[in-house]
Amino acid sequence: MKCRACRAPAVVEIRRHNTTLCRHCFLGYCRNQVGRAIRDHDMIGPGQRVLVAVSGGKDSLALWDMLLDLGYDADGVYVGLGIDGYSQPSADHARAFARRRQARLVEVDLRQQYGYDVRSGAAADHRAPCSACGLSKRHIFDRAAVEGGYDVVATGHNLDDEAAVLLGNVLRWDLEYMARQRPVLPGGHGFPKKVKPLVRLAERETAAYCVLQGIDYQVEECPMAAGNRHLGYKEALGLIEERSPGAKAVFFGQFLERAAAALAGASAEAGGAVLHPCPSCGAPTSSELCAFCRLVERAGGDPRRRVPVSGR
Ligand code: FES
Ligand code: ZN
């Protein structure tokens, strides 16, 4: 098997592009896909500071690595979720990467900082663990970005993630969620801009990128996510992709091209909720107290603790 680009021995096959690539050309292909997503969707402007939401897994570490290689001013932020057997090794991978690249990693620990972990927060707020986790991470990423003076938060959502979320939204015809499912969410009203530069890369490709770049990452999936609906959608799309290589990219790409803008326009016309600063933490919210502060209070913690913006 030869590399289609340079004829050296190939190490990766990308079926949806009907191609095989050597290590050098594959790493270049990944960086090109990220660079193209950034350009096509106007994700990061010249001189802007980026905060990468880092979990210690393949996607976020590959993203951080590529942004640094592409010359972006990118720091990382890691949230310690207090999940036994999972959070510690995840943090170790994030720290090891930051050390190796001499990059700055901002760390926030839910237990130390706010007095709860994902399991206790979920129980206290009567939510599924993944919902408490998502709410906590979104809040902390936003606050860390706003308080740290970053222009953009970048997350490691890849093509498989986005296609699976879209499938879930389509199965429910949840137009409101579909209107917000874009590779860029503009900032404003106290929210930072959020971008997903990996939307053109599949999960297999970010894993291969890490292996070929020698990046150690947390291979085990979060134990709380086992059996959740999102993973079911990913499996279903995986079966379709197996029979029709490229189906996932077409499904999500054509949604962006043909439907996303119209849906976003309709939802903007309908008008959003009126936002004001949460009296406890200052984050924008439409309710009296923001959802994060309600969770922290129910879990017995102190929501007024600020997100520290110091890093190692
Ligand atoms: Fe959030 Fe598992 S990483 S619940
Ligand atoms: Zn709040």
Which residue has the least CA distance to atom 4 on ligand 1? 130
Of the pLDDT bands very low, low, confident and very high (cuts 50, 70, 90), residue 266 is confident
Question: In sequence order, which residues have a C-beta less than 8 Å from that of residue 200 and are 6 or more positions away?
Answer: 33, 34, 36, 37, 159, 249
pLDDT tens profile 64-118: 999 999 999 999 999 999 999 999 999 999 999 999 999 999 999 999 999 999 9
pLDDT tens profile 209-229: 999 999 999 999 899 888 789
Mean pLDDT of the chain: 93
pLDDT recorded at residue 225: 84
Question: In sequence order, which residues have a C-beta less than 8 Å from that of residue 186 and are 6 or more positions away?
Answer: 193
Ligand nearest to the CA of 81: 1
Check the CA dihedral 122-125-128-134 and report its sign.
Answer: negative
Closest by CA position to 83, among listed 31, 136, 39, 125:
136
The Cα angle at residue 118 between residues 117 and 120, in degrees rounded to 5: 65
Of the pLDDT bands very low, low, confident and very high (cuts 50, 70, 90), residue 273 is confident
Burial 58-87 (b: 16+ CB within 10 A, else e): bbbbbbbbbbbeeebebbbbbbbbbbeebb
CA 276 to chain centre: 26
Q: Which residue has the tokens 């972990």?
A: 117
Is the pLDDT at 309 greater than 60? The verdict is no
Contact 169, 178 (CB under 8 A): yes
**pLDDT above 70: percentage of residues in the chain:** 96
Ligand nearest to the CA of 127: 1
pLDDT recorded at residue 274: 83
How much is the average pLDDT of 127-134?
Answer: 94
Of the pLDDT bands very low, low, confident and very high (cuts 50, 70, 90), residue 308 is low
pLDDT recorded at residue 64: 98
Q: Pocket of ligand 1, candidates 117, 133, 135, 139: which has the most ligand atoms within 8 Å of its Cβ, to mutate? A: 133
Q: Pocket of ligand 1, candidates 78, 116, 130: which has the most ligand atoms within 8 Å of its Cβ, to mutate? A: 130
pLDDT recorded at residue 312: 47
* Residue 109, both tokens: 């620990």
Of the pLDDT bands very low, low, confident and very high (cuts 50, 70, 90), residue 192 is very high
The Cα angle at residue 163 between residues 62 and 71, in degrees rounded to 5: 25
pLDDT recorded at residue 240: 98
pLDDT recorded at residue 303: 72
Contact 41, 195 (CB under 8 A): yes
pLDDT recorded at residue 270: 65
Contact 136, 110 (CB under 8 A): yes
More confident residue, 311 or 259: 259
Please report the atom of ligand 1 found closest to the CA of residue 223: 2
Which structural domains are found in the chain, ordered by start? 41-217+227-272 (3.40.50.620)
Of the pLDDT bands very low, low, confident and very high (cuts 50, 70, 90), residue 49 is very high
pLDDT tens profile 17-38: 999 999 999 999 999 999 999 9
Ligand nearest to the CA of 295: 2
Within 13 A of 177's CA, how many CA atoms are on the CB side? 12
Protein residues within 5 Å, CB atom, of ion ligand 2:
278, 280-281, 283, 290, 293
More confident residue, 142 or 304: 142
